[in-house]
Amino acid sequence: MNTLNKTLALIALASSSAAFAATDFDTLDVDGNGALSQQEASMGGITSTTFSELDTDQNGELSKEEFSKA
């Protein structure tokens, strides 16, 4: 079920041309700290629910590795 939710979120994200342009991790990491805050991720269309699912270590940020599993 978790994989299905992630897949559906990714499809929704890709369907938006503006969001699709900003799905690259490095583009979303506007402060350049190597992690995505929830605010940065939301600019790429990642909802708070999806962010929580991807944040497997629950540190409030998405690493490049966590983001790549979206």
pTM of the full predicted structure? 0.67
For residue 11 the two structure tokens come to 């499809």
pLDDT in tens, 20-60: 445 799 999 999 999 999 999 999 899 999 999 999 999 99
pLDDT over 90 at 11, yes or no: no
In this structure, the strands spanning 62-63 and 35-36 are: antiparallel
Q: Is the model's pLDDT at 19 over the cut of 90?
A: no
Does residue 5 surpass a pLDDT of 50? Answer: yes
Helix (H) / strand (E) element for 52: namely helix 48-54
Q: For residue 53, which amino acid is it?
A: E
State the pLDDT at residue 28: 94
Cβ–Cβ < 8 Å for 28, 54:
no
Decide: 20 and 13 in contact? Cβ < 8 Å. Answer: yes
